[in-house]
Copies of this chain bind each other. A is one copy, B any other.
Amino acid sequence: MLKTGFLPEETRQKLHTVIYEADTRAGKLFDIILLCVILISIVAVMLESVASIKIVYGHELAVIEWVITILFTLEYIARVVSVREPLRYIFSFYGFVDLLATLPKYVGLLFPGSGFLIAVRAVRLLRVFRILKLTHFVGASNQLLAALRKSQVKIAVFLFSVIVLCIIMGTLMYMIEGPESGFTSIPTSIYWTIVTLTTVGFGDITPITPLGQLMSMVIMIMGYGIIAVPTGLVTAQFMAETPHLNTQACPNCGANQHRDDAKFCYNCGAGLTK
């Protein structure tokens, strides 16, 4: 039943084209309007959190929020009815994101104390990625993701080693500095170690004892040095994507800088003898 959708096939297909595709004029317009509504909604959520603005424009922001929530609800319904397999959409990643874009407001209505849900609305921003998927950015971001995915085991090994290092170093710092310097517990010391190793350096906790400062120097120089590892991994991966051009010259036309795996000359089509 659900597989065939709620609407007549023709209407459903028309709606589907407008909502999910960007090739027609209507589809493009829909995307642009949606993009604007999302951005307005994000700005409204941000402004609402600023106390001084909420006092003055609180009412206007609440109205805008309701209008946007209703628009998103209508859009969600339209998305559900316009696909051939609604359940598949509902339980997809973007299905959940679309639902989370509307739900918090209604939940807040039922349970007045759930004001903390305000921030959940920020996930609306994730919807921007779906719209941009339809643009020419997709090639570049796919390349980025592919390179990251290929080196993910090495990145995992690296991150795991960094975390083990931080736990051991953090425990050592707790032993050395103790609660007097702000290293009140091992978890806090580990927090400080990560702050230091990643070269963030808030300065809310700083070592005071000479030995603690010495250890800090070791941690800082390690952090300064080992950042080379993820960088090297990702760079090597980015470059491995491009086939190397060699200095071999074509025996027929003399053109050079062929791909390493070239069998024929790119310029005259003659076979390359290897």
Chain A residues close to B by CB (< 8 Å): 42, 45-46, 49-51, 116, 118-119, 122-123, 125-126, 128-129, 132, 136-137, 139-141, 143-144, 147-148, 153-164, 167-168, 171-172, 174-175, 179, 184-188, 190-191, 194-204, 206, 210, 213, 216-217, 220-221, 223-225, 227-249, 257-271, 273-274
A196 with B185: CB separation less than 8 A: no
Known: A51-B185, A202-B206. A238 touches B236 (CB 8 A): yes
Q: Which residues of B contact A267 (CB under 8 A)?
A: 261-264
One complex includes copies of this chain to the number of: 4
A177 CB to nearest chain B CB (Å) = 11
Q: Is the interface of A mostly helix, strand, loop or mixed?
A: helix
Tell which of B118, B164, B185, B231 touches A232, judged by Cβ atoms closer than 8 Å: B231
B199 with A202: CB separation less than 8 A: no
Interface pairs A-B: 10 shortest CB-CB: A264-B269, A200-B201, A262-B266, A122-B171, A232-B235, A203-B203, A202-B203, A232-B234, A228-B234, A198-B224
CA distance A265 to B265 in the complex (A): 7
A220 with B198: CB separation less than 8 A: yes
Q: Which residues of B contact A157 (CB under 8 A)?
A: 137, 140-141, 144
**Nearest CB in chain B to that of A248: its residue:** B274
A233 CB to nearest chain B CB (Å) = 6
Q: Which residues of B contact A258 (CB under 8 A)?
A: 266
A137 with B153: CB separation less than 8 A: yes
B198 with A167: CB separation less than 8 A: no
B247 with A139: CB separation less than 8 A: yes
A222 CB to nearest chain B CB (Å) = 9
A234 CB to nearest chain B CB (Å) = 4
CA distance A274 to B210 in the complex (A): 52
A210 CB to nearest chain B CB (Å) = 7
